[in-house]
Chain A
Amino acid sequence: MERHFDEELRSLHENILRMGILAQEAIFKSIEALKNRDKSQAQEIIGSDGRIDALELEIDEECVDLIARHQPVASDLRFVTTGMKINAELERIADLAVDISQRVLELADKPLLKPLIDIPKLSIIAQNMVRDAIEAFVKKDVELAKKVVLSDSEADKLRNLIQDELFDYIAKDCNAAPRAVALLLISRHLERICDHTTNIAEDVVYMVEGKVIKHHSGKI
């Protein structure tokens, strides 16, 4: 039986999807700006974050309103509560894209420390994870969500490699430190994006099956 409430849940679903698309776009553009040393692209990302913040508030309000008026239970409750959490994770992901863009602005006028190889690789992992997490949310696909959770360790390993390599640069030449630190931070931002995405995927599993896998990813 179709309920009026279903229409409101659909609207929430569409808004979270919109938030996901905006966050995904922000990461993609920030990595493009890094690769192309494109200051105007970086500034555009920083400037458009307000739109994502506004949508976050709108979704939050929508969730609170649904809880207050409908007191959802069971799958409806899981959808609304995970919707609130996913919303917050996506907003943080978009903020990290802004952080990357700020590092791009710092690096743009300085010579390249080294050719970028592993950071773009890490960015691809992060983007794929975000894409899959959003798809898992849309399709209620638990297997895809679990795949996202498992991908996080790959991102952690790559980030450690990048970190070791950049430490070597700093050890060899202290003048390289400001650029190495900026790249270190970028790798850290990308790794945090993966962490937030992992949370989204864990939330999707709870939303669909009612099972909590958070902090138990070893048992997936």
Chain B
Amino acid sequence: MDKKIKMRAEGVNFFYGRSQALKNVDILIHANQVTALIGPSGCGKSTFIRLFNRMNELVLDTSLSGNIYLDDLEINSAQIDPVHIRKRVGMVFQKPNPFPKSILDNISYGLRVNGVKDANFIEERVEASLKKAAIWDEVKNRLSDSALKLSGGQQQRLCIARCLAVDTEVILFDEPCASLDPISTAKIEELILELKKDYTIVIVTHNMQQAARVSDYTGFFLLGELIEFGKTQDIFTAPQDKRTEAYITGRFG
């Protein structure tokens, strides 16, 4: 635990109405590392990741207690603008969700809504973001084409590029490969490993092998509790909790 901590949650409880989805969760997210969150459907892992950029407050009748920090900033403080947090903490979803606009407009959108008008700057940033997301070579000659014409895997990398364009620091991936074929999945995984040099990554995945392949740290959620958290190597070779062991070996249930 000697690496820098980028985000941390302390005593987080979260409710949908009266139903408690997260119970007293503490976690440390290490900077420039990949943290995977695993667990069965409904265990709270997606709810938890969505707290990291205040996405859950868009859902009605929810309540949160506890603290979540981005560096030393408590992200739920009254004076903090959620848009500012979502700029620093980007998110990539299960289903690629490009805007029904051109490839260029998808990437430049975040910059424009943040008031950037310098065309040269935007052009440079679009190219750099697409390059970082390993899709530049595939789209550089058709930047004005609709993003919806891209394949699923390309659309997902475009969505990653869209995050990168706005100076994001943390990227949250919620099942980013669930709708992709193995080749596109492999490309996203390679990209995640590349991106961690510059960004902090948190990934929710149902694919245990994916968690094992790409992450440095793994947390196992069950019924809203973080049951075990540790180095991925330890979790996948010698987990300490019998429930983690049962889940990752498929003996669950």
Contact = CB atoms under 8 A, between A and B. Distances in A.
A3 interface: yes
Interface of B: 208-209, 212, 236-239, 244-245, 248-253
Contacts of A209: 238
Contacts of A72: 249
B249 A71 contact: no
A108 interface: no
Interface of A: 1, 3, 5, 71-78, 209-211
Contacts, number: 34
8 contacts: A1-B250, A1-B253, A5-B250, A73-B208, A73-B212, A73-B249, A74-B249, A78-B238
Contact of B237 (A3, A5, A78): A78
Nearest to A81: B237
B209 A1 contact: no
A210 B237 CA distance: 7
B249 A76 contact: yes
Nearest to B211: A73
Nearest to A2: B251
B212 to A, nearest CB: 7
Contacts of B236: 73-74, 77
A72 B208 CA distance: 10
Contacts of B237: 73-74, 77-78, 210
Given A73-B212, A74-B248, A210 B253 contact: no
A76 B237 CA distance: 9
Contact of B238 (A1, A5, A71, A74): A74
A131 B180 CA distance: 51
Contact of A3 (B209, B239, B250): B250
Contacts of B245: 74-75
Contacts of B248: 73-74
A70 B111 CA distance: 45
A78 B208 CA distance: 17
B115 to A, nearest CB: 48
For A3, A74, A76, A78, which residue has the most chain B Cβ atoms within 10 angstroms?
Answer: A74
When A and B form their complex, which 7 residue pairs have the shortest distance between CB atoms, in order from nearest? A210-B238, A73-B236, A73-B248, A74-B245, A1-B253, A76-B249, A74-B249
Contact of B249 (A75, A210, A211): A75
Nearest to B244: A74
Contacts of B212: 73
Nearest to A3: B250
A1 B237 CA distance: 20
A46 B122 CA distance: 78
Contacts of A3: 250-251
Nearest to B238: A210
A118 to B, nearest CB: 41
A74 B211 CA distance: 14
Given A5-B250, A74-B236, A78-B237, 13 more contacts: A1-B250, A1-B252, A3-B251, A71-B209, A73-B208, A73-B212, A73-B237, A73-B248, A74-B239, A74-B244, A74-B248, A77-B237, A211-B238
Contacts of A71: 209
A77 B208 CA distance: 14
A73 B212 CA distance: 9
A76 B239 CA distance: 12
Nearest to A211: B238
Contacts of B208: 73
A76 B248 CA distance: 10
A133 B68 CA distance: 50
A211 B238 CA distance: 8
Contacts of B252: 1
A73 B38 CA distance: 14
A54 B252 CA distance: 36
B162 to A, nearest CB: 33
Contacts of B253: 1
A40 B102 CA distance: 85
A106 to B, nearest CB: 46
